[in-house]
């Protein structure tokens, strides 16, 4: 059963959550949710092709997609930035000391959301062409 639509709908929901978290000042959660939105959007593309994609590293997922599609270099750079938000946004031991909530900024949340939006636009194009 193809569940690409489910992955895509959840990607959009995660992006909305990222925006809400940013507005609430939960910048670490905004960054993580932006990562999750991008991950689920990429997985929606794989699912639409009856392929499964495993893992959480956006860079690797996009590189695997690049075997069939032209993935812009700047999108890979955005994925690399989002990948850095996967662990330290949630776990205090992802940082030398302190809680993640004490370290993330509005600018990082804005950037993460912008990068995620770009990846979702790219995936939307692939899903709906």
* pLDDT, tens only, 56-74: 999 999 999 999 999 999 9
Provide the residue range defining the domain that includes 106.
Answer: 4-127
Residue 1 has pLDDT above 90, yes or no: no
State both tokens at 67.
């075997």
Q: How far is CA 116 from CA 86, 92, 98, 111, in A?
A: 13, 24, 26, 9
Residue 28 has pLDDT above 90, yes or no: yes
Q: What is the CATH number of the domain that holds 46?
A: 1.20.120.330
Task: Give the pLDDT band of residue 52 (cuts 50, 70, 90).
Answer: confident
> CA–CA separation, 89 vs 96, rounded Å?
13
> CA–CA separation, 47 vs 31, rounded Å?
24
- DSSP state for residue 51 in the 8-state scheme: -
Q: Do residues 21 and 29 touch, judged by C-beta distance below 8 A? A: yes
pLDDT, residue 101, reads 97
Number of domains in the chain: 1
Q: What is the mean pLDDT of the chain?
A: 97
Q: How far is CA 66 from CA 19, 43, 71, in A?
A: 28, 13, 5
Task: Give the pLDDT band of residue 129 (cuts 50, 70, 90).
Answer: confident
């Amino acid at each position: 059963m193809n569940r690409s639509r489910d992955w895509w709908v959840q990607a959009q929901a995660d992006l909305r959550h990222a925006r809400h978290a940013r507005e609430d000042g939960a910048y670490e959660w905004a960054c993580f949710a932006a990562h999750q939105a991008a991950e689920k959007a990429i997985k929606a593309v794989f699912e639409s092709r009856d392929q499964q994609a495993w893992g959480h590293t956006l860079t690797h997922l996009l590189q695997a997609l690049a075997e069939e599609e032209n993935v812009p270099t700047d999108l890979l750079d955005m994925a690399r930035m989002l990948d850095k938000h996967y662990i330290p946004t949630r776990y205090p031991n992802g940082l030398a000391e302190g809680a993640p909530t004490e370290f993330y900024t509005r600018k990082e949340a804005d950037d993460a959301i912008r990068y995620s939006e770009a990846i979702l636009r790219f995936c939307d194009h692939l899903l709906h062409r």
